[in-house]
Structure 1
Amino acid sequence: MPDSQPQPARSPDGDAATTPGDGVLVLCGARLADGRVVDVRLSGGRVEAVGTAGSLAPGPRVDLTGYVLLPAPAEPHAHCDTALTAGSGPLAFGAEDVQRRTTEAALLQLGHGATAVRSHVRVGDVQGLRSLEAVLQAGRALAGLTELSVVAVPRLLTGVAGADGAAMLRDAVEMGATVVGGCPDLDPDPTGYAETVLAIAAEHGCAVDLHTDGADPTRLARLAAMAGGLRPRVSVGPCGGLARLPHDQAVRAGQQLAAAGVTVICLPQGDCGVMGGGHGAWCAPVRLLRAAGVRVAAGSGALRDAANPVGRGDPLEAAFLLASHGELAPEQAYEAVSGRARAAMGLPEVRVEAGFPAELLAVRGGGIAGVLSLGYSRLVVHRGRVVARTSAVREYGDVQAEDRAAVALDLPRQSPRGGDPER
């Protein structure tokens, strides 16, 4: 069953469905998460009206019969500068190649439904600011299709080498990085590293997004207390080490994070490798953290690089893993990659209601649980325009064999041409 790469936008029936940013578009017959079947009119990049099916005035239309319409997800933890480098050599990190791979990765994530991506980008060392500039250039070229924001990630910020790192971090912000971050755990002075990041963030009015394993409760508590002064614009993650702590220690750590008001961005697919330990199987204990009052969002992390050679960059896969592992109910899991992720990134709230931004994802399926299980066919709306469409068709080699299988499995029969697996 082939699942296509993102294509020029078309309606589910194949007709062209692009509209200018200030144009009007009606999404017809979509099912909302609460089960209602509605028409949704988009105008000026926002949801203008939601009414019962067939009730809105005629205009350019997309038939979403059989699709669930949801607020679009966002990707709060990407690494575009290393994405798609699995098996590549040193030449893969030239500026032109970084820009090309960033563009490809962002479009891949857009095809899955993420209309905004936050990418961590390493600055300093051999690369200097070249990778950062390449990612920023890709973001400018993708304007109108997706929003790409950048977290500048220096290696060291203390000691003699740290002075250069701090200067480069300030330069990165001047160039266009809107978030400052890094990994305090890898600096000889983790507290000093975090202090520098927070000071530069306060100077420039930037958000903060720090990597930490979270396996050292004392260090995590200190980091949370320091970051509390900038809340709610501070995120930490992936905090997979919390899952390895004794339960009582993990609970206390969760309480300290909640008191600081920071957001934890977990990676259900495993650690992104920035902490130096490679791709691990641990995910932060989401249910425990939520019970402690911590805001938790979820991201995809590594995308086909040295840390994870098989990453998909699909927010729905992250939500599926949270639900299938029993950390969250399907609706909560989807919220972790949509509403919670958008809030962690400082993006406006999205609802399928009048007045909210038209950042939407339509997925063929019968509800959120079905969407997370078999969400192949998708249509993505960014700023009121259809910007990506992915369709999937399952065909069988023999109609008679298909009929026999349908009878044996008590499934609806399909036409000789086959059909969408989610119809």
Structure 2
Amino acid sequence: MTETTTLTGATLPDGRVRNVVLRHGTVSHISPVGIPDPRQAAIDLTGYLLLPAPAEPHLHLDRALSWEPVGSDAGGRDGAVRSWRAAPTRYDVGDLRRRARAALQVLSANGVTSVRTHVDFGVGAPLRVIEILRELREDLQRVLDLQIVAVASPGLSDRAALEAFAAGAALLGGRPHSSPDPRGETRRLLRLADRAEVDLDLHLDDQPDHRVLAVADLARLLRASGFGRQVTASHCASLGTLRPPALAKVVEAIAASRLAVVGLPSAPLTDARTGRGAHGLAPCGGPTPLRALLEAGVPLTAGGDHLRDALHTMGRGDPLEVASLLVTAGQLSVDQAYAAVSTDARRIMGLPDAGPEPGAVADLLAVRASSLAEAVLAAPSDRIVLRRGRVVSRTAMGKAAGHTRATIGRQRTRVPAGAR
């Protein structure tokens, strides 16, 4: 592709139909529809809505696409975890590399150009997993960004935890609630992140219980410690169990701490047998927590969490599906929902702004739709994905273009040679 490319006849999010000119991986300018310069490359986007490319802020690549070989125990969430831990090949090098690559190709075909993956390591989970994903990150860097969060097991020594960054991790993660001393573990993780000079992204309150509010505790610790790096809390399920007065106080504390929150609307929080969450409480993820966080100015994004594994067997790796859940379950507007899986996700992930705006990075998703509402509702299969101004995926129902073909359900997708 030449250094300058014109996207002709694209429908912008505000409904205008324009030509969008890309130069050196960024959006140069937007102009009225006209005949493009024949000396420059052009892509006809007539009938396509042009959007900022989505970003995936919370995924577990080490488990992705493992449901069929691993299966799922009937014991709800705990049973799913047992199934994964019992899998004899869960960290087989060849299988892990194949599954992770295939999962990233699914995400790329759906429009994602940046992924943050959480990877368990420590007790029972080898450091080699991070090294494999680092190799994959380097291999696919023309197609997408891959951020690796090293989720340290409680009890892992500080020295062993810091080895993750030499192996390729860029952020530190953890599950403080799994420790006998959750507050002590949170303090330790903050200290380790500060020592390694990396951001922190923690799993907190991933099983709803109003008696356990690790996110509130973290917000207080952040204000008291003066920790200066980005801290993100994923899940935060217990917020959905609070009554409005208590919720307002916790949300105020979160906003004051500058903590970012990742909602996971498809997270497997219910027990398969009872339909209720942990401790017999109703599952979280209702509308109040999400809207309350947004209205308080808390940086909020949303992700898919699991992709066709024992914990979420039907995940599609599609940000439009996540946005739809944010509208239906979270009662966000369509604009708020799509922002949560695209521009807001990029900001929380420390990435530059992208989208059809002059000066923005040309990470773009063109989807065959006339409006954002139609795109989120129907999640059309016809998509063109650009990464820094270069087409990395074209997908269409019943037809495909490119060099390497992957089959996703009844949808045929080709990923360019650079994705291999």
Q: TM-score range by the shorter chain?
A: 0.7 to 0.9
- Within a 5 Å distance, the mapping from 1:339-354 to structure 2 comes to 339-354=343-358
2:215 aligned counterpart, secondary structure: helix
Deviations 1:214-259 (A, max 9, x none): 7446533221122343356111011122112222222211111111
Deviation of 1:33 after TM superposition, in Å, equals 0.6
Deviation of 1:55 after TM superposition, in Å, equals 5.9
2:169 aligned counterpart, secondary structure: coil
Q: Are residue 34 (structure 1) and residue 14 (structure 2) matched?
A: yes
Q: Are residue 200 (structure 1) and residue 192 (structure 2) matched?
A: yes
Please provide the CA RMSD for this pair: 2.2
Deviations 1:154-191 (A, max 9, x none): 121xxxx432xx22220001222111011111111111
Deviation of 1:392 after TM superposition, in Å, equals 2.0
1:162 aligned counterpart, secondary structure: coil
**Alpha-carbon separation, structure 2, partners of 1:142 and 1:384:** 16
Deviation of 1:313 after TM superposition, in Å, equals 1.2
- Counterpart of 1:121, as a letter, is V
Q: Are residue 329 (structure 1) and residue 333 (structure 2) matched?
A: yes
How has the CA–CA distance of structure 1 residues 55 and 234 changed in structure 2, closer, same or farther, with 3 Å as cutoff? Answer: farther
Is the 1:297–1:336 contact (alpha carbons within 8 Å) kept by the matching residues of 2? yes
2:67 aligned counterpart, secondary structure: coil
**Alpha-carbon separation, structure 1, partners of 2:215 and 2:21:** 46
For residue 380 of structure 1, what is the aligned residue in structure 2?
A: 385
How has the CA–CA distance of structure 1 residues 168 and 327 changed in structure 2, closer, same or farther, with 3 Å as cutoff? Answer: farther
For residue 293 of structure 1, what is the aligned residue in structure 2?
A: 297
Is the 2:327–2:334 contact (alpha carbons within 8 Å) kept by the matching residues of 1? yes
**Alpha-carbon separation, structure 2, partners of 1:251 and 1:271:** 26
Is the 1:265–1:296 contact (alpha carbons within 8 Å) kept by the matching residues of 2? yes
Rg: which structure is higher? 1
For residue 106 of structure 1, what is the aligned residue in structure 2?
A: 104
Is the 1:231–1:261 contact (alpha carbons within 8 Å) kept by the matching residues of 2? no
How has the CA–CA distance of structure 1 residues 206 and 326 changed in structure 2, closer, same or farther, with 3 Å as cutoff? Answer: closer
For residue 162 of structure 1, what is the aligned residue in structure 2?
A: 156
2:89 aligned counterpart, secondary structure: helix
Deviation of 1:34 after TM superposition, in Å, equals 0.6
How has the CA–CA distance of structure 1 residues 219 and 148 changed in structure 2, closer, same or farther, with 3 Å as cutoff? Answer: closer
2:186 aligned counterpart, secondary structure: helix
How has the CA–CA distance of structure 1 residues 192 and 221 changed in structure 2, closer, same or farther, with 3 Å as cutoff? Answer: same
How has the CA–CA distance of structure 1 residues 33 and 264 changed in structure 2, closer, same or farther, with 3 Å as cutoff? Answer: same
Q: Can you give the 5+ residue segments of structure 1 that lack an aligned partner in the other structure?
A: 1-18, 395-423
Q: Return 325-334 or 28-37, whichever deviates more.
A: 325-334
Deviation of 1:82 after TM superposition, in Å, equals 0.6
For residue 30 of structure 2, what is the aligned residue in structure 1?
A: 50
How has the CA–CA distance of structure 1 residues 277 and 141 changed in structure 2, closer, same or farther, with 3 Å as cutoff? Answer: farther
Q: Can you give the 5+ residue segments of structure 2 that lack an aligned partner in the other structure?
A: 70-86, 271-276, 400-420
Deviation of 1:381 after TM superposition, in Å, equals 0.4
**Alpha-carbon separation, structure 2, partners of 1:330 and 1:393:** 28
Deviation of 1:393 after TM superposition, in Å, equals 5.3
Is the 1:271–1:301 contact (alpha carbons within 8 Å) kept by the matching residues of 2? no
2:291 aligned counterpart, secondary structure: helix
Deviation of 1:368 after TM superposition, in Å, equals 0.6
Q: Tell me the TM-score normalized by structure 2.
A: 0.82
How has the CA–CA distance of structure 1 residues 186 and 237 changed in structure 2, closer, same or farther, with 3 Å as cutoff? Answer: same
- Within a 5 Å distance, the mapping from 1:236-315 to structure 2 comes to 236-271=233-268, 282-283=284-285, 285-315=289-319
- Counterpart of 1:320, as a letter, is S
Q: Are residue 183 (structure 1) and residue 178 (structure 2) matched?
A: no
**Alpha-carbon separation, structure 1, partners of 2:25 and 2:184:** 43
**Alpha-carbon separation, structure 1, partners of 2:278 and 2:198:** 28
**Alpha-carbon separation, structure 1, partners of 2:312 and 2:284:** 13
**Alpha-carbon separation, structure 2, partners of 1:252 and 1:31:** 42
The alignment covers a number of residue pairs equal to 365
Percent identity for Structure 1 against Structure 2: 37
Is the 1:272–1:307 contact (alpha carbons within 8 Å) kept by the matching residues of 2? no
For residue 150 of structure 1, what is the aligned residue in structure 2?
A: 148
For residue 410 of structure 1, what is the aligned residue in structure 2?
A: none
Deviation of 1:366 after TM superposition, in Å, equals 1.1
